[in-house]
């Protein structure tokens, strides 16, 4: 895969198509977010919109900019891309409540119907995709698998597999963070100790991999050649820096939220992203048969409010 030319995802036309797709997604999300603000002001906080927008920008920067091409020269750049996709872009997108916000962008006659269907979609409601062991394994296996030397080399030599590798890191990040953020239509409740333990256990395989890369006295991935101006042209120095960066990055990104959540639970407070709770209504329970919990209520109430507003205007 020559670094001088874009091919596949890196062709000029494909780059433009990806940029337009992200722009369209952001526009649809903005419409839904504005509708949320007009019907349920407490549910559409500006920080949610900012989180989603930053998540989109980070994903775009890895998949469709020259930054996504630097991993052909440096293992550090390769590691940074995957960390950005899995530990920054994915949770930020989920914190933006993307599903219900995108649903809210639909016309009123479809909003309630789609929300009702999604709220009864079993894999999303906690039986498969939000099952914590499943999500933890998906994230862990993805990280370990793509860093096996033979698999790593194959992904670097094949442009299509390299694109698939980036997409799998992003998808695994969404799955991994789902039980932590629990965006709508999640409805399962977890014990107060669950999230800190979940995040702590996630650091262990990453720490093992990063320690191996940092202290190994030989180059593990011969396909990555450090740029001459970095690390004095030393591939081993590049590998050591990549391992150290992953070690520190993962420790802070996983353990800081775990500590914050633990402190909040000890003081009987909900995590900050769960504090925007709207009072439960009997109408909602009859409409969507959801548990009295945000954002389940959000799905029904936002559509009911809109229908009521339309009826009043008529």
d(C-alpha 14, C-alpha 69), whole Å: 14
pLDDT greater at residue 290 or residue 92: 92
Percent of the chain beyond pLDDT 70?
Answer: 69
pLDDT in tens, 190-204: 656 788 889 999 999
Mean pLDDT of 13-24: 79
d(C-alpha 257, C-alpha 267), whole Å: 15
Query: Is the pLDDT confidence value at 291 over 90?
Result: no
What count of other Cβ atoms lies within 10 Å of the Cβ of residue 204?
11
d(C-alpha 179, C-alpha 185), whole Å: 11
Q: Where are the alpha helices (DSSP H) in 105-158?
A: 108-119, 132-146, 149-157
Short-list 198, 38, 19, 187, CA closest to 99: 187
214 near 52, Cβ under 8 Å?
Answer: no
Two tokens, residue 139: 């994230």
Query: Is the pLDDT confidence value at 4 over 50?
Result: no
Return phi, psi of residue 239, to 5°. -65, -45
Two tokens, residue 67: 């930054």
Whole-number pLDDT of residue 269: 57
Short-list 203, 202, 195, CA closest to 265: 195
Query: Is the pLDDT confidence value at 139 over 70?
Result: yes
Percent of the chain beyond pLDDT 90?
Answer: 26
The model's confidence at residue 229, banded by pLDDT at 50, 70 and 90, is low
d(C-alpha 170, C-alpha 165), whole Å: 9
pLDDT greater at residue 157 or residue 119: 157
Two tokens, residue 228: 């001459």
Short-list 169, 172, 212, CA closest to 63: 169
Query: Is the pLDDT confidence value at 67 over 60?
Result: yes
Q: Is 175 helix (H, G, I), strand (E, B) or coil?
A: helix
d(C-alpha 271, C-alpha 187), whole Å: 16
What count of other Cβ atoms lies within 10 Å of the Cβ of residue 278?
16
**Inter-CA distances, 274 with 43, 172, 190, 261, Å:** 10, 23, 13, 11
The model's confidence at residue 270, banded by pLDDT at 50, 70 and 90, is low
d(C-alpha 79, C-alpha 75), whole Å: 6
| Residues 6+ away with beta carbon under 8 Å from 118 | 99, 103, 124, 185, 299
d(C-alpha 263, C-alpha 51), whole Å: 23
Whole-number pLDDT of residue 162: 83
| Rg of the chain on CA atoms, in Å | 22
């Amino acid at each position: 895969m020559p670094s001088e030319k874009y091919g596949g995802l890196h062709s000029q036309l494909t780059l433009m198509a990806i940029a337009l797709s992200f722009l369209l997604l952001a526009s649809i999300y903005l419409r839904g977010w504005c509708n949320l603000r007009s019907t349920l002001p407490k549910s559409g906080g500006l920080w949610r919109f900012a989180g989603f927008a930053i998540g989109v920008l980070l994903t775009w920067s890895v998949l469709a900019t020259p930054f996504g091409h630097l991993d052909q020269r440096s293992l550090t750049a390769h590691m940074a891309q995957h960390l950005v996709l899995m530990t920054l872009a994915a949770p930020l997108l989920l914190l933006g409540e993307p599903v219900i916000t995108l649903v809210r962008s639909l016309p009123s006659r479809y909003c309630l119907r789609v929300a009702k269907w999604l709220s009864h979609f079993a894999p999303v409601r906690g039986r498969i995709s939000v099952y914590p062991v499943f999500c933890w394994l998906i994230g862990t296996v993805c990280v370990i698998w793509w860093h096996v030397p033979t698999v790593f080399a194959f992904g670097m030599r094949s442009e299509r597999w390299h694109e698939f590798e980036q997409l799998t890191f992003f998808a695994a990040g969404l799955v991994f963070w789902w039980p932590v953020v629990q965006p709508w239509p999640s409805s399962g409740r977890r014990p107060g100790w669950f999230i800190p333990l979940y995040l702590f256990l996630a650091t262990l395989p990453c720490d093992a991999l990063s320690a191996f890369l940092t202290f190994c006295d030989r180059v593990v991935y011969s396909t990555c050649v450090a740029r001459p101006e970095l690390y004095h042209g030393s591939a081993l120095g590049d590998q050591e820096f990549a391992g150290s960066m992953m070690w520190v990055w993962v420790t802070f990104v996983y353990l800081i939220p775990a500590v914050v959540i633990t402190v909040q639970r000890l003081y009987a407070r909900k995590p900050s992203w769960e504090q925007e709770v709207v009072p439960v209504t009997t109408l909602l329970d009859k409409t969507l048969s959801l548990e009295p919990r945000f954002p389940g209520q959000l799905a029904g109430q936002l559509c009911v409010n809109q229908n009521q507003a339309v009826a009043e205007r008529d």
